[in-house]
Amino acid sequence: MASVAKSSKNCTVNPLKTSQPLGGASAFMGLDGCLPMLHAAQGCTAFALVLLVRHYREAIPFQTTAMNEVTTILGGKDNLEEAILNIAKRAQPKVIGICSNGLIEARGEDIRGDLKLIRQRHPELDGIALIYAKTPDYKGGFQDGWAAAVTAMVDELVEPDFARHLHQINILAGCHLTPADLEEIRDTVEAFGLEPIILPDIAGSLDGHVADNWVQTTMGGTKLDDIRRMGCSVATLALGLQMEPAARVIETRCDVPVEVFPRLTGLLAWDNFVAALARLSGKSVPASIRRRRSQLLDAMLDGHFYFGQKKIAIAAEPDLLLGLTGFLTDMGAIIAAAVTTTDSAALPLVPSQGVRIGDLDDLEQAATDCELLICHSHGARIAERLGLPFFRAGFPLFDRLGAAHKLSIGYRGTRDLIFEIGNLFIAADSHHHSAKGGKDAPVASH
């Protein structure tokens, strides 16, 4: 059980956290035919957009209500209305995902009421879903915004239908999962003859496909009709503790039982997931999955030498933090420093003495005698300053290729993680040995 502490500093130094609205908008990217929009001044969208483009290396559809000083004082309804009408006309989306920022929420605007009025005034919007997630940026972080958006999606769309569809299951995917992770999840679920509705499905929209023409919304991703019939599923699997509230909404409305999987990285964690699929489908575990499990066992045996007692410093959003630290301690490593962005039920479960809600400066201070640093791309300079091997994980990853295709869950993902991180340890160890042999270790530049 980790104790959770909050930084008492007044000045955040080198932020770890990105904003709630950015997380919310990212979740909306996983819907088909969607145009995510921030209800805020235009700069918020510009920053968020740049970050998303750099991470996914994709053109990202993303809009803004372009609030200014005057409209902030008068209230944002007119801008919201104009933005929705403009988007409807220009981009013909199936859904507009609206995330509010602090400017709007601090004034206590009634966006739900505004949307109702806008609908009444404009019957031409009838075919377009308008989903609002409350995501002020002075609270929480990316993960909270993602969770709020998914909760808003199911709350808005899931129909109160109780006719069970025997093979259909709901998969609610947290923001710690990449398109590659979702692909692995889909393949595994389908291997049991189950039909998953994955929400949000960024594997459909942000997997880096080259399409034949240009559309101004997301392409691929969860279909709205599929969300509407989530109430007919036999179960909802919430992947990440952040997804539990959304799962409970479906449960309350349609009586679909919920199973929460706090993590999917590591042998026993994925065993649980596979066992649940076997149980839900009534089928035995396919040979291909058993084979992968056996490969992982071998990788664990081969790799454990390099992980045992290694001291690791890590900064990540709560669910990702839990997944990675769980895996690392499974392999015998020690989590010497853990920093995260926001409060969560996942934090007490993190296998370290303490978890700090803080910034990269906290990480840097705590990491001095560690042997590996794990963080998103902004951690690279810290690793360089401390002369530590560095493993990139989380969002944003802007200084390496393939962020969307990084697989780190399941038997295969865990196996690959062992190799990737193990190799970092091997490289550092051999470097250490040769340094001892006379030559000085290269000093990391500041």
- Residues lying near another protein in the complex (CB under 8 A): 9-15, 17-19, 21-22, 37, 40-51, 53-54, 57-59, 63-70, 72, 79-80, 82-87, 90, 101-103, 106-107, 136-139, 141, 210-211, 213-214, 216, 378, 381, 398, 446
Per-residue exposure over 324-342, b if at least 16 CB sit within 10 Å of its own CB, e if not: bbbbbbbbebbbbbbbbbb
Q: What Rg do the C-alpha atoms of the chain give, in angstroms? A: 22
- Of these, 13, 47, 159, 432, which contacts ligand SF4 (CB under 6 A)? 47
CB of 22 to another protein, least distance (A): 6
Taking the C-alpha atoms of residue 415 and residue 330, their distance in angstroms, rounded to an integer, is 13
CB of 48 to another protein, least distance (A): 6
Q: Which does 446 bind (CB under 5 to 8 A by kind): ligand SF4, another protein, none?
A: another protein
Task: Return the structure tokens found at 268.
Answer: 């026993």
User: Which residues have C-beta within 8 Å of that of residue 226, sequence separation ≥ 6?
Assistant: 197, 199
Does 41 bind ligand SF4 (CB under 6 A)? Our answer is yes
Number of residues forming the site for ligand SF4 (CB under 6 A): 5
- Of these, 44, 194, 349, 421, which contacts ligand SF4 (CB under 6 A)? 44
Q: What's the burial of 288, exposed, middle or buried (CB within 10 Å: 0-12/13-18/19+)?
A: exposed
Q: Which does 167 bind (CB under 5 to 8 A by kind): another protein, ligand SF4, none?
A: none
Q: Choose the stretch contacting ligand SF4; rule: CB under 6 A; options: 40-48, 154-162, 234-242, 254-262.
A: 40-48
Using omega within 30 degrees of 0 as the cis cutoff, is the peptide bond preceding 61 cis?
A: no
Q: Which does 59 bind (CB under 5 to 8 A by kind): another protein, ligand SF4, none?
A: another protein
User: Which residues have C-beta within 8 Å of that of residue 364, sequence separation ≥ 6?
Assistant: 14, 382, 385, 386
Q: Which does 107 bind (CB under 5 to 8 A by kind): another protein, ligand SF4, none?
A: another protein
Task: Return the structure tokens found at 167.
Answer: 């093979």
Taking the C-alpha atoms of residue 224 and residue 154, their distance in angstroms, rounded to an integer, is 10
| CB distance 56 to 178 below 8 Å | no
Does 40 bind ligand SF4 (CB under 6 A)? Our answer is yes
Q: Choose the stretch contacting ligand SF4; rule: CB under 6 A; options: 42-50, 172-180, 238-246, 258-266.
A: 42-50
From 369, 373, 398, 371, select the one nearest 383 (Cα to Cα). 373
Does 138 bind ligand SF4 (CB under 6 A)? Our answer is no
* CB closer to ligand SF4, 41 vs 169: 41
Q: Which does 443 bind (CB under 5 to 8 A by kind): ligand SF4, another protein, none?
A: none
Question: Phi and psi for 134 in degrees, rounded to 5?
Answer: -85, 110
User: Which residues of this protein are in contact with ligand SF4, per CB under 6 A?
Assistant: 40-41, 43-44, 47
